[in-house]
Structure 1
Amino acid sequence: MSPPALRLGHLYPGEMNIYADRGNIAVLERRLAWRGLALEVTPLGVGDPVEPGAHDLYYLGGGQDRDQAVVAEDLARTKADGLRAAVAGGAAALCVCGGFQLAGHGYTGADGSRMPGVGILDLDTVAGPTRLIGDLAIEAELDGERRLVAGFENHAGRTRLGPGCRPLGRVLDGHGNNGEDGGEGGVAGRVIGTYLHGPLLPRNPWLADTLIRWALAHRLGEPPELAPLDDSLEDAARAVAAARAAARGRRPAPRGRAPRA
């Protein structure tokens, strides 16, 4: 009997896909296939409800401001309750860039307009006067393990975490959530939000496998052991991205913290 497929709910694949976000889903599909497992992807667009228990992993990518506004309204109207119930029941989620902002309590634009968030991460975002752009490297921590994670950031939002959310990682080179406090991304339970894209998962297979493990734990009832894969190409790509981030120069250390050695 073949093992059950990992079920992924792809939120707004038409509207929130400006940073090669489908590449992240392709990585999940391929890493599962290499292990003899399958990925079942269900698009969840405008008007489609989220049914708690129907999916093991949710993905919400980045979008342009006008698309993000449409998505924010639909999230609040048709998906917020179901998505909150799903993650409370152990489903995993990856929310990138604009999706990261909408995973929080909301986003306030430069003109003062407010987009509601879905509230699966305790954070809030306000548009800043400039965009934070460039290669970004962080020291991420998940399940007690620390790894280098690298990608690209391009956002005007300044995101602040509340007490119910911790950073995905510590900024090594780049800006991070707001360019001030030294944190990047947000994690609560099995929900990960981040400004890292480009896309994110091809260069960071450890992060991809963490999401796969969490999602399979939701599907099967316990965390599975994943067969190791040859990630030499992915590791080389991540090293290039991290080197580019370092070449940009280190950001000033946030107040109250010593600069990195």
Structure 2
Amino acid sequence: MQLNICHLYPDILNLYGDRGNIITMKRRLEARGIKVNIEECSIGQPLDVDKYDIFFIGGGQDFEQEVLLRDLASGKGRDICTAVEDEKVFLAICGGYQMLGQYYKTWDGNQLDFIGAINIHTIGAKERMIGNYMYRTTPESGGTIVVGFENHSGKTYLGEDVAPLGMVLKGYGNNGEDQTEGARYKNVFATYSHGSLLPKNPALADFILHTALAHKYDGAEPLTPLDDTLENRAHDYMEERLRHG
């Protein structure tokens, strides 16, 4: 078995060590004897979505999102939408999450129209939502507690056909209002969680990887367990701090 991973805009969207998610997916697959091919695609480079099983998009600032708009409008945005509807797996963080949506309207009224791959929109606020936080993913996304770090001024709202990735236990999540965090549409996993996300959340990492394998190989067998002692210690330490800190 082999999974092909595309890292979209790695030179532009890589806040707070988001590249660590790519490293984690690679190591967890290789530890199980599954081959991994990782390629990068940035501005001006063609994207053949049929080649890949997983797409990763990291976080960026508002200015960096604006820089991407022309490249996405050249046809790459349409190709990403096609891959989403074909149920390819996406992991999108913060700015990458917002980019998959309909639009981002800044607090002073300027609107950035994005690609509309998922039915969400984001409204900018003057105050930032920042800090360590945690949420529990829905049963459809594994039902596990996720710890991470959020830092965003945009408030994201989900359309009727988009489910939250999870529900906030501590922190702000999508908008600080409805307790939702992230989005799940087909095989898109989107979240505000930096940190990076997957190294200290091995259960979610494996859920995403198994989703990609099951889609490519028509119902792959469950992944063999790994020794996640260190990963779980990091996770449990932060969970304990958030519960009682």
TM-score range, shorter chain: over 0.9
1:27 aligns with one of 10, 24, 27: 24
TM-align CA RMSD:
1.5
Q: Tell me, which stretches of 5 or more residues in structure 2 are unaligned? A: none
2:196 aligns with one of 196, 199, 204: 199
1:154 equivalent to 2:151? Answer: yes
Preserved contact between residue 73 and residue 116 of structure 1 (Cα < 8 Å): no
| Alignment size in residue pairs | 245
Residue in 2 that maps onto 1:117: 114
Pair 1:244–1:72, CA change in 2 (3 A)? farther
Q: Deviations over 1:63-107 (max 9, x none)?
A: 122211112332233311111111222210011011111111111
2:186 aligns with one of 189, 208, 220: 189
Cα distance in 1 between the residues matched to 2:243 and 2:114: 33
Cα distance in 1 between the residues matched to 2:210 and 2:116: 23
The offset of 1:206, in angstroms, is 1.2
Preserved contact between residue 12 and residue 64 of structure 2 (Cα < 8 Å): yes
Q: Which runs of 4+ in 1 moved over 6 A?
A: none
2:91 aligns with one of 89, 94, 103: 94
Residue in 2 that maps onto 1:225: 222
Cα distance in 1 between the residues matched to 2:26 and 2:159: 33
* Percentage of pairs with the same residue: 40
Residue in 1 that maps onto 2:211: 214
Cα distance in 1 between the residues matched to 2:141 and 2:150: 25
1:1-261 to 2 correspondence within 5 Å?
Answer: 3=1, 5-143=2-140, 145-247=142-244
Preserved contact between residue 105 and residue 123 of structure 1 (Cα < 8 Å): yes
Cα distance in 1 between the residues matched to 2:240 and 2:211: 30
Q: Tell me, which stretches of 5 or more residues in structure 1 are unaligned? A: 249-261
The offset of 1:48, in angstroms, is 2.4
Preserved contact between residue 108 and residue 125 of structure 1 (Cα < 8 Å): yes
The one-letter code matched in structure 2 to 1:48 is Q
